[in-house]
Amino acid sequence: MDNQAWYLRTSKLALALAIIRSKPADKSSREYTEHLALVVSGQESKWRSKVEALEAEVLQLRQKLLLSKICSGLFKSGDPSSQLQAQEPGSSESTLTVLEDSGCDLSHEQKTESSEMSQHFVGSCTPTPFPPLPIVKKHSATPENPLSSHMQFLQHLLELKNWTESENLKTDLSHFENHSSTVSDSVFQLLDGLITFYREPKCPFSNFCTEAVDTLARLISDCNLSNHILKKCSKKLEEFEKTLLQIILRNNHINRFQVQHYVAQSLVTLGSCNLLRKSIISQLLSEVNSFTDDLGTINQVQASYDVTRYENIFSFFWVLEQLLQKENEKGSMSSIGRDDLEIKKFLQKHDEAIFLLSDAFPLFTFYLWRLGILLDSIERETVESNSLP
């Protein structure tokens, strides 16, 4: 017996003897042990909650620190007054508009704060550190409430980054890469909360989710931030994509179509990011290929089919059409092609599936035909672009 096993067995024996010696007279050893276990588990739960609350507070402080350092860096890079005055006259108003349009739900007080910040930017002539942007915490009792600070931090970060990379104001943000864990941790927490929310979506659908998904897509589209995010959050992103797919496919509620519409729109928003579009298209085609095979088998034996799954698959068709049309747009290629396993399988069985299923499932085969046209169009675009010198 090794030392570790011996110490473990000795510790268990010592604990059992301590429980037997200290137990009250009116309780058996078993009852007293169960009581102690309940007390310890209760304390562990309280400590875990405290740790999670402290971790959330630390992350929020890291978010504020990073934003403050980035803003301070704007002043250290040169004279902020001259740089900002070189912009168009309405720059302070446009900065406020950008923050309003970024998806943040700004109240009247928060708009006033943003306006004051813009005026501070324009009016300040000394290279003093920029005051930290407000991370707004909503206190309404909604499921997405804990995530609002993460989303607004990421939105502020994106707007600052876009601003500093504009033609009139350039700042090197590479020296902030040591803080990349703050960004990836915030994205991870946001994804975790979105997965929990989407597993039990409720109508009316919250605009928060739409804004959060749009923020994620914009972050991952950023070439400097995407590497840090994908390194830590790739599995969580994949889980989120699969969650959205399963919500559409497995939902059998009578009034499910409004929820499916919003979830499908979220998939399209995610797919607007070139780095995510290929995996989403592949997963969608995998489900379509699987259902096409099932319908072929059902059609041969004249068996009944799952009507709910049949109806839900058309949401997949809609999402696929939207993403494939984006793929056809100039400069939006995500390098999908016939080398993708699911695309290869779809195109190989495309004509045969239409021929065999067109009588029994005409609407389904019509959508298969439309997808085939879009994929062929992408294939031609790829061949033409590769053949150019």
* pLDDT tens track for 222-254: 877 788 788 888 899 999 999 999 999 888 887
Nearest to 327 by CA among 383, 389, 382: 382
The phi-psi region of residue 335 (left if phi > 0; otherwise alpha if psi is between -120 and 50; otherwise beta) is: left
Q: Each residue of 291-342: pLDDT tens digit?
A: 999 999 998 888 888 899 999 999 999 999 999 988 877 555 556 665 678 8
Lowest mean pLDDT among 76-80, 145-149, 190-194: 76-80
d(CA 347, CA 376) in angstroms, rounded, equals 9
Tell me, what's the pLDDT at 338?
59
Tell me, what's the pLDDT at 288?
94
> Rounded to 5 degrees, what are φ and ψ at 117?
-65, -45
pLDDT of residue 122 exceeding 60: no
**Residue partners of 70: CB distance under 8 A and separation at least 6:** 157, 160, 161, 164, 171, 173, 176
Cα dihedral 100, 104, 106, 111 sign: negative
Q: Each residue of 52-86: pLDDT tens digit?
A: 788 878 888 887 887 777 777 655 555 444 343 33
Residue pair 119/92 in contact by the 8 Å Cβ criterion: yes
d(CA 117, CA 98) in angstroms, rounded, equals 13
Mean per-residue pLDDT over the chain, rounded: 74
Q: How far are the Cα atoms of 67, 129, 166, 217, 312 from residue 163, in angstroms, in the given order?
A: 13, 17, 5, 18, 42
Tell me, what's the pLDDT at 206?
72
pLDDT of residue 92 exceeding 50: no
d(CA 175, CA 172) in angstroms, rounded, equals 7
pLDDT of residue 269 exceeding 80: yes
Alpha helices in 200-256 (DSSP H): 207-221, 223-250
Q: pTM of the entire structure?
A: 0.67
Q: Which of 67-76, 130-139, 344-353 has the highest mean pLDDT?
A: 344-353
Tell me, what's the pLDDT at 389?
55
pLDDT of residue 282 exceeding 50: yes
Higher pLDDT, 241 or 131: 241
Q: Which of 46-50, 125-129, 137-141, 201-205 has the highest mean pLDDT?
A: 46-50
pLDDT of residue 135 exceeding 60: no
Question: With pLDDT > 90 as the criterion, what percentage of the chain qualifies?
Answer: 21
Q: Which of 123-132, 330-339, 372-381 has the highest mean pLDDT?
A: 372-381
d(CA 278, CA 325) in angstroms, rounded, equals 13
Q: Which of 6-20, 23-37, 79-93, 292-306 has the highest mean pLDDT?
A: 292-306
